[in-house]
Structure 1
Amino acid sequence: MTTHLPYQISHVYLHESAKMPALNLQQGNYLVFWWKTIPLGDLYLEPGVTLSEADYFKKMGQAILPTLQQYAKSTSERNQNLQATQMLEKLKNPESWLPEALKRKPTEKIPKEVPVSVIICTRNRPGSLKQCLEAFQKMLCRPQEIIIIENARENDESEAVTRLYPNVKYYQEPIPGLSYARNTGIKKATCPIIAFTDDDVRIAENWVHQVWQTFQDPKTMAMTGLVIASELQSEAQLIFEKHWSFNRGYTDKIFDIEYFRKTIAKGPPVWNIGAGANMAFRKSIFEETGLFDERLGAGASGCNEDSEMWYRILKNGHTIHYNPRAIVFHEHRRELTALKKQIFSYMRGHAAAALIQQEQFRKAGYARHLSHTLLVAYSKAILKGFPQYQAQYCTLWVQIKGLIAGIVYYYQNRKKTELR
């Protein structure tokens, strides 16, 4: 049996220093590159890997180039970025060219408060909730409204935490299920933009501002943001980050009706749009699409209530923007037993949501997607993982069980009313 080595996470802020960071050669290294508040890219270095200074800068240039190219407005600028990320002297002196490449002004005025309702659903986790609410007190730009929805609470500890913050509203949703809690939050929200995050994430200080900025484009009806791992100490955390990551990359992505049409035959992979721990909507979209399907989500099918909502938004012809500058940091589950339980829920919710989406639009290829996953993809994985089923293959059997459980769940619940 192989021994797992943890990964050291290093955030490299190029506006402070472009020097090669100290690497821990006794374990793996995960580097995230930044220019001030803009995440530029990341780099994995396996345990024991050593790099010369030249090799480090070469890999750094490759990691940040895609982000730089999205800001380029011409072929000439793209060529300049390509050349800069291949030149050692340029990479050692990023302040001489990166601000211009990123089209960032020296100062950007940030409002103190914006018309955003932040909804945080929680359940009997007062310690995590307090840490989360503390982060909002330090925001450069604060939301007009913070709403806590406690789902099927067992005691009053979380409510007591919210009393410490006069600007926080607290409500209860007695029916177990994350979708029930989120729908209650939507009904209570008063701002035109509604943002969701979880009580167990660490939020970047400019998160609210970035959420608000995303909706300055009138076409945008929903958004998701970047989720970065806060630690990679255990094998379970590394497996999740490398094979189930919430991180959707460092470049903006637009999902619209064209994306929907191009992917409909195989079933639009809406689960790739983002993560429920970092998402937001115009409140008005819920009047058109309806609220979250309460058959889905934690406490019901397991998950995918978020991606099913994104599916409805796209099906109705609207746009979703993935903005990597809206950032939260997520602590993945440390234990393999907890990871397996999580993956079972993911696959159960995935299958149930896929069939619900198929039901909404018969031309969607989700039934084909599920049968191919079960009969082809998992057959190949079983052979590849044989006989030890280690690393990413350690969750293979719970994935299969979860997918089958989700199909059964759908047929058992398809006639139920979606919403109260």
Structure 2
Amino acid sequence: MEVHAPYHISHVYLDKQLLTLPKLKTEQQGNYLVFWWDQIALGHVFLEPDQELPLTEYLQKLAKAIEPAVNQYANSSNYMVDWQQWIVNQKPEDWAVWMQAILQAHHSQTIPNRVDISVVICTRNRASHLQRCLVMLQELKCVPVEIIVIDNAPSDDSSHRVVELFKEVLYVKEPRPGLDIARNTGIMKATSPIVAFVDDDVEVHPLWVHQVWKTFQNPNIAAMTGLVIASELNTEAQQIFEQHWSFNRGYEDKVYDSNFFSSNLHHGPPVWEIGAGANMAFRKSVFEKVGYFDELLDVGAAGCNGDSEMWYRILADGLTIYYNPRAVVYHEHRKELSGLKKQIFFYMRGFIAAALLQQKLNPQADYKRLLLQVYPKFYFLLVARGFPRFRGRSRTIWAEMKGIISGLAFYLRNGKHSSIPRNQTASAKRKLTTAEVVTN
């Protein structure tokens, strides 16, 4: 039986450690280094198990890993220099002065204690995860005015009992199963102009809420996503997910707008690149304009991908989505291969269903090309490379292919039916009355 070495995650704070080599255990263990300057994540690097790393090689890897983010911050501050030479030549003092200068605009001088944001957590039968998440949210440097827990078709009262420990948290029991159903219930219960979603299995960075709030200080931003960093990489399943299916969308700011949408329309806008549902937020007014989450795309229905489908509609309406890598959460990936394969199956099933629904909304979005041309070639090569052992990336091939076929079949059966709640109509409000609301 093949044994997979765990990867230890180290957060390297360059503003304190500068250019010194971190102390790493390498024997029978890989390392995943995440580089920070104070509260700003800049990049990461994987180091293979048993890989010894001399200082010169470490500095080369460091410079390469943080180059895209550092260059963006330097360009935005109009202060670009040949900073890599300070790293290669080991001149930490000069580099530190320059780094402080280019990042100064992104360090908040004053942080409000409380901001007008509703944070929605959709959960089901994961009381221990939920409790940890709620503790962290209430210990942030900047807290939201409202936290709402949507208990989605629970089989017991464990989540309710956890929420009872937190006086200011609103508990809503939603009896209809489905993540997008739960999200829509959370939106309709939220009272703040900004609605942020976070998964119950994430840890939030101390400045997460503040960074979400800062993003929406730009009135042109309709929605945002943030950086998702793995919290654990101990198992093969977690490593496969992070290396091939990661929620991490990088360390640079990104704008997704009408230009992004129109330039990618004829080969299908890759809206899945925008972010992850584990770390996203919206102006509440957006849902009145483009509709609520499509409940047809729930796990147990199409699969998932309700978040990507929502981003598609937002962009199709000419609105802007912003990726802010300073809004950080840490996600716990599934530990077991069986769980990962199930997750990937539903990802692909939901992705195909969502893509075909998007093309139905806009026939110019040529997602069929992915299904008929790109994917057959891609998976033929993937199977050929993985044969006969199917290790690493190849572990999930069959789950992916089954998901694609299942998603296509689902669309053919259900594609004519639209389940997107467009606004808070009387019908939508009647649905909400099925949810049991408890205020502590």
TM range (shorter): over 0.9
Q: Is the 8 A contact 2:118 2:145 kept in 1?
A: yes
Q: Distance in 2 between matches of 1:104 and 1:399?
A: 43
Q: Distance in 1 between matches of 2:138 and 2:76?
A: 41
1:45 aligns with 2:47: yes
Identity score, percent: 52
1:197 aligns with 2:203: no
1:63 aligns with 2:56: no
Q: Distance in 1 between matches of 2:369 and 2:64?
A: 37
Change (3 A) 1:110 1:364: same
1:116 aligns with 2:117: yes
Deviation at 1:74, TM superposition (A): 7.3
1:295 aligns with 2:296: yes
Change (3 A) 1:321 1:385: same
Read off the aligned partner of 2:56 and give its amino acid letter: A
Encode CA deviations 1:315-348: one digit per residue, 9 max, x unaligned. 1111100000000001111111111111101100
Listed as ranges, the matches of 1:137-152 within 5 Å are: 137-152=138-153
Listed as ranges, the matches of 1:174-185 within 5 Å are: 174-185=175-186
Deviation at 1:230, TM superposition (A): 0.5
Q: Distance in 2 between matches of 1:121 and 1:395?
A: 27
Q: Where does structure 2 lack aligned partners over 5 or more consecutive residues? A: 422-427, 429-440
Q: Distance in 2 between matches of 1:417 and 1:251?
A: 36
Read off the aligned partner of 2:367 and give its amino acid letter: Y
Q: Is the 8 A contact 1:39 1:250 kept in 2?
A: yes
- Kindly report the root-mean-square deviation, in angstroms, between the aligned alpha carbons of the 2 structures: 1.7
The two structures have a TM-score, normalised by structure 1, of: 0.96
Deviation at 1:297, TM superposition (A): 2.8
The residue aligned with 2:217 is 216
SS in 2 for 1:50: coil
SS in 2 for 1:322: strand
Deviation at 1:104, TM superposition (A): 4.2
The two structures have a TM-score, normalised by structure 2, of: 0.92
Read off the aligned partner of 1:50 and give its amino acid letter: E
Deviation at 1:72, TM superposition (A): 2.1
Read off the aligned partner of 1:16 and give its amino acid letter: K
Read off the aligned partner of 1:25 and give its amino acid letter: T
Encode CA deviations 1:172-218: one digit per residue, 9 max, x unaligned. 11111111100011000110100000111111111000000001111
Deviation at 1:372, TM superposition (A): 2.3
SS in 1 for 2:195: strand
Deviation at 1:67, TM superposition (A): 1.1
Q: Distance in 1 between matches of 2:94 and 2:388?
A: 50
The residue aligned with 2:279 is 278
1:88 aligns with 2:107: no
Which range moved further: 405-414 or 14-23? 14-23
Q: Distance in 2 between matches of 1:328 and 1:171?
A: 24
The residue aligned with 1:35 is 37
Q: Is the 8 A contact 1:33 1:64 kept in 2?
A: yes
SS in 1 for 2:15: coil
Q: Distance in 1 between matches of 2:26 and 2:47?
A: 9
The residue aligned with 1:4 is 4
Q: Is the 8 A contact 1:358 1:365 kept in 2?
A: yes
Q: Is the 8 A contact 1:62 1:85 kept in 2?
A: no
The residue aligned with 1:347 is 348
Q: Distance in 2 between matches of 1:222 and 1:146?
A: 19
Which range moved further: 354-363 or 70-79? 70-79
Q: Distance in 2 between matches of 1:232 and 1:373?
A: 31
Deviation at 1:127, TM superposition (A): 1.1
Listed as ranges, the matches of 1:92-103 within 5 Å are: 94-103=95-104
Deviation at 1:35, TM superposition (A): 1.0
Read off the aligned partner of 2:114 and give its amino acid letter: E
Deviation at 1:82, TM superposition (A): 4.2
SS in 1 for 2:412: helix
Q: Distance in 2 between matches of 1:49 and 1:224?
A: 34
Listed as ranges, the matches of 1:387-398 within 5 Å are: 387-398=388-399
Read off the aligned partner of 1:410 and give its amino acid letter: Y
SS in 1 for 2:83: helix
Change (3 A) 1:84 1:217: farther
Q: Is the 8 A contact 1:14 1:94 kept in 2?
A: no
Encode CA deviations 1:34-53: one digit per residue, 9 max, x unaligned. 11110011111111221211
The residue aligned with 2:435 is none
Q: Is the 8 A contact 1:40 1:64 kept in 2?
A: yes
Q: Distance in 1 between matches of 2:393 and 2:170?
A: 41
User: How many residue pairs were aligned?
Assistant: 419
Q: Is the 8 A contact 1:149 1:170 kept in 2?
A: yes
Q: Distance in 2 between matches of 1:413 and 1:97?
A: 57
SS in 2 for 1:299: coil
Q: Is the 8 A contact 2:87 2:95 kept in 1?
A: no
4+ long deviations beyond 6 Å: none
1:382 aligns with 2:388: no
The residue aligned with 1:77 is 79
Change (3 A) 1:75 1:85: farther
The residue aligned with 2:174 is 173
Q: Is the 8 A contact 2:86 2:95 kept in 1?
A: no
Deviation at 1:62, TM superposition (A): 1.8
Q: Distance in 2 between matches of 1:11 and 1:260?
A: 35
SS in 2 for 1:264: helix
Encode CA deviations 1:149-169: one digit per residue, 9 max, x unaligned. 111121222111111111100
SS in 1 for 2:80: helix
SS in 1 for 2:295: coil
The residue aligned with 2:267 is 266
Q: Is the 8 A contact 2:83 2:95 kept in 1?
A: no
